[in-house]
Amino acid sequence: MSDDIPETELPTEGTTRRRALLLGAVGASAIISIRPALAQTQASILTCEIPVPDPARRGSYIAPDGKLVPAGTPGAFAPAGRPFKGQDVKRALSGGQLPGVDYERNRAYTNYIRRLQSGTSGFTCFASLQMPRG
């Protein structure tokens, strides 16, 4: 045995096995409790909403590059009639189409969404769509 540690304080084989089993049980319970939370998070990501534009800028139009411009600006688009669901935005950002809009309006709206910044309504939803899922 070791000269530094008295023999009575050295762990026995049974003690280390119990400790390993205990640590394994703690790890397994953490995995079991995390998986439902991830599933719930995924569901909330798909149902979150992104208004275009956010309510504080509701009177603005959306230019083709996604910037907000004054209402009536030539070539710009009126605000969307309702917020878009996360699943619709995710599909549109992957090359699909937002529901109920034509190609040009879809491009302008998705450009607006890509430009969202912290503090803007819909930003948290957009940011969560960008996070990789395992």
- Element containing residue 61 per DSSP (H, E): strand 61-62
Instruction: For residue range 51-89, list pLDDT tens digits in order.
Output: 999 988 989 999 999 999 999 999 999 999 999 999 999
For residues 49-71, one letter each, b for 16 or more C-beta atoms within 10 angstroms of the residue's C-beta and e for the rest, the string is ebbbbbeeeeebbbbeebebbee
What is the gyration radius of the CA atoms in the chain, in angstroms?
26
CA distance 66 to 117: 13
pLDDT confidence of residue 20 = 62
CA distance 76 to 56: 18
Low-confidence ranges of the chain (pLDDT < 50): 29-35, 37-40
pLDDT confidence of residue 120 = 87
pLDDT confidence of residue 128 = 86
